[in-house]
Structure 1
């Protein structure tokens, strides 16, 4: 099969598009998916560069990618809920490839009316955003939660989950993005690049941070005593000591097929918007990584067809 493989940590040029790559083995409890599309996430280029080697060690050569949408081609003998021809979606592994083996327990059917290619953008960002709010920030109905980077893919998913929970959401974005952030239907907005706006912000019950760095440090000071600070990126060393009553929790997305399906349903029904900036062929994965790593590229889909 054709796939993109990484032989050495480093730049995007290290991603090699190859033919003749061995197909993944199909176990009794897995499903063989013919990939329609994968997507590029920040964790992909961070793993490729070696920056996250400690958290996510690779056995090289490796196939990257966590999102996959496609069509079932074969099923293991213990699989009862999927059959060849089904359109499916999953938060999986090694998805920069024409075929992906996925455990049946983490696979979901794609709802009727959904775009098969664009749906590849959903799994990782949906699970990260959802679990950032529910498990890391531990948001509850009636609370006030600030979501930083609210117009990013993970930020949008976090806002969506929080609103469905009945949480009052403050969308944290750049000053030039305030008008767009208001279209998310949030309770309020704040400019994260305006120190005076952050200083004037009332204390909140929690923060769901997707930005990290100095922004995270500033927002930590706006959490009430006993509150929650959940983050998905980088939290500066030593900041948590400024208020030991605030619980700081990092989120690592866990597979949850039902939640992926829920987000897919919401996109189909128009209640959740996930913008996609580019659709590129799988063979251009290196170029896609370069764009993503430079920042500001938006969500990129890798289409697995020549």
Structure 2
């Protein structure tokens, strides 16, 4: 495993749970996502996040909440909320991931716009449907954005062809692709790797969940760089075992093993 100096430095910044810590002290994440159309997307975000933080709260459309409740025992470790409970849990959570599986509807735009305006000082990771419906000026300072190329181009064009004002506000951009790019203020970190198996639906939702879980206790740039690197390293690990024949659930399941191995190699934990 060959690491760039930037990736190595960020891996060494990762802090592990204290041996004397108690429930809730190692991260609380709120995931707001899902829709009638994309009912499974946020499942992968929840699945991976539950492996890294103490508590995961989840809010979706009512029909999807029912689906989550039915499958919770088999798939998810967390607390399902109704949407009217979201404000109370935003103030409790260390970080909020919003967007996985959300559609590009007026309802999504209204919800996202209100929440980020009402709670601008929280740690936000903004993904997928949330990225596609609100204006760049509405992104909270210090948030992490996780666009694919099309979403990035939309933001770039709305900003008049420059991300400088966005980055000056402490916003971190994780551009997903064959190579990922993390933009944080004046720094750009390139993360290579991955394989055709990573084109499966849901791999971006896994990445968003991992980054958000890390952002609960790590700094934004570190969460984005390490999340991207571990996601791609896990894809390569799976490809060595089964070629391109794996899915997003396999990816989420293998990330803890790969993450722990990488941390032990880099930081001697």
Q: TM-score range by the shorter chain?
A: 0.3 to 0.5
Could you state the TM-score of these two structures normalised by the residue count of structure 1? 0.33
Larger radius of gyration: 1
Structure with more of its chain in helix, by fraction: 2
Could you state the TM-score of these two structures normalised by the residue count of structure 2? 0.37
